[in-house]
């Protein structure tokens, strides 16, 4: 049962442009949503998170938007840099489930120079 | 902070064998989770330990078992290995309760079952 879905397996963007990554979920009870970034041969590293009581959270070049009615969130990276080339995972958690994470399948971002 | 360290980094086992993967949690973290990441997929939750007790389990059979030790290090044991167990196994730790960053992940152990 895939509760978190990332329907775009890959995204290619030119350096300096905006990258938009999308994520959909099915469980309306999720409390928190996170984005992780993963380079080859490394574990996922935290990028940004958002609580279900908010609709936007910003941290530098990264902004996450949450649309609860649509059960949809997105990650915007502006401007995109070559170092942003990685796999990005969307994850969701439930406080009532001790914050265990449900992950999407990931989106591979390639930033072209 | 030393982060989360996992060993070994790579492992090749034969079908039917048993394997033990190890994880050293980040200092001060008393909660550890294990995830399985198959090729082309996102990490899947296996189980979580808090203060040496199992605190939730994902959709994995009983041949996947774990331990957490008083120093909060952890082991993942898999018995009767199957070819489909080939994956990256990730250990993640956190203090109790919600953290904005979720969990701190290790670099993983790449298990290949032949």
Give per-residue pLDDT as tens, A74-104: 999 999 999 999 999 999 998 877 778 999 9
Instruction: Please give the average per-residue pLDDT across B57-67, as a whole number.
Output: 96
Give the integer Cα–Cα distance in Å for B104 and B69: 18
Chain A: nearest CA to B44, how far in angstroms?
Answer: 7
Chain B: nearest CA to A11, how far in angstroms?
Answer: 15
Cβ–Cβ of B102/A97 closer than 8 Å? Answer: no
Per cent of chain A over pLDDT 90 is 88
As a whole number, the mean pLDDT across chain A is 95
Per cent of chain A over pLDDT 70 is 99
Per CB-CB distance under 8 Å, the chain A contacts of B47 are: none
**Among candidates B86, B94, B105, which has minimal Cα distance to B15?**
B86
Looking only at the bridges linking them, the beta strands covering B53-57 and B44-50 are antiparallel
Give the integer Cα–Cα distance in Å for B44 and B35: 5
Give the integer Cα–Cα distance in Å for A91 and A106: 10
Give the integer Cα–Cα distance in Å for B78 and B80: 7
For residue B21, give the 3-state DSSP assignment. strand
Give per-residue pLDDT as tens, B27-49: 888 899 999 999 999 999 999 99
Best residue in A43, A54, A92, A96 for a mutation probing chain B (most B CBs within 10 Å): A43
Cβ–Cβ of B43/A45 closer than 8 Å? Answer: no
């Amino acid at each position: 049962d895939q509760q978190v879905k990332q329907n775009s397996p890959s995204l290619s963007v030119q350096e300096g442009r905006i990258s938009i990554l999308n994520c959909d979920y099915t469980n309306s009870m999720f409390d928190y949503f996170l984005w992780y970034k993963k380079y080859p041969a490394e574990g996922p590293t935290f990028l940004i998170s958002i609580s279900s009581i908010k609709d936007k959270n910003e941290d530098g070049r990264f902004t996450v938007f949450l649309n609860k009615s649509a059960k949809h969130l997105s990650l915007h990276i502006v401007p995109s840099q070559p170092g942003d080339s990685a796999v990005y995972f969307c994850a969701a958690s439930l406080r009532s489930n001790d914050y265990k994470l449900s992950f999407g399948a990931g989106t591979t971002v390639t930033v072209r120079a | 902070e030393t982060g989360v360290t996992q060993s070994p980094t790579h492992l090749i086992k034969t079908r039917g064998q048993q394997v033990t993967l190890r994880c050293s949690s980040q200092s001060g973290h008393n909660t550890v989770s294990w995830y399985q990441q198959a090729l082309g997929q996102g990490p899947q939750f296996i189980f979580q330990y808090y203060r040496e007790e199992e605190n939730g389990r994902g959709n994995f059979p009983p041949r996947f078992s774990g331990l957490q030790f008083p120093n909060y290090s952890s082991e993942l044991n898999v018995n009767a290995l199957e070819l489909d167990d080939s994956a990256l196994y990730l250990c993640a730790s956190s203090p109790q309760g919600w953290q904005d960053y979720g969990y701190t992940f290790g670099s993983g152990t790449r298990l290949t079952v032949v």
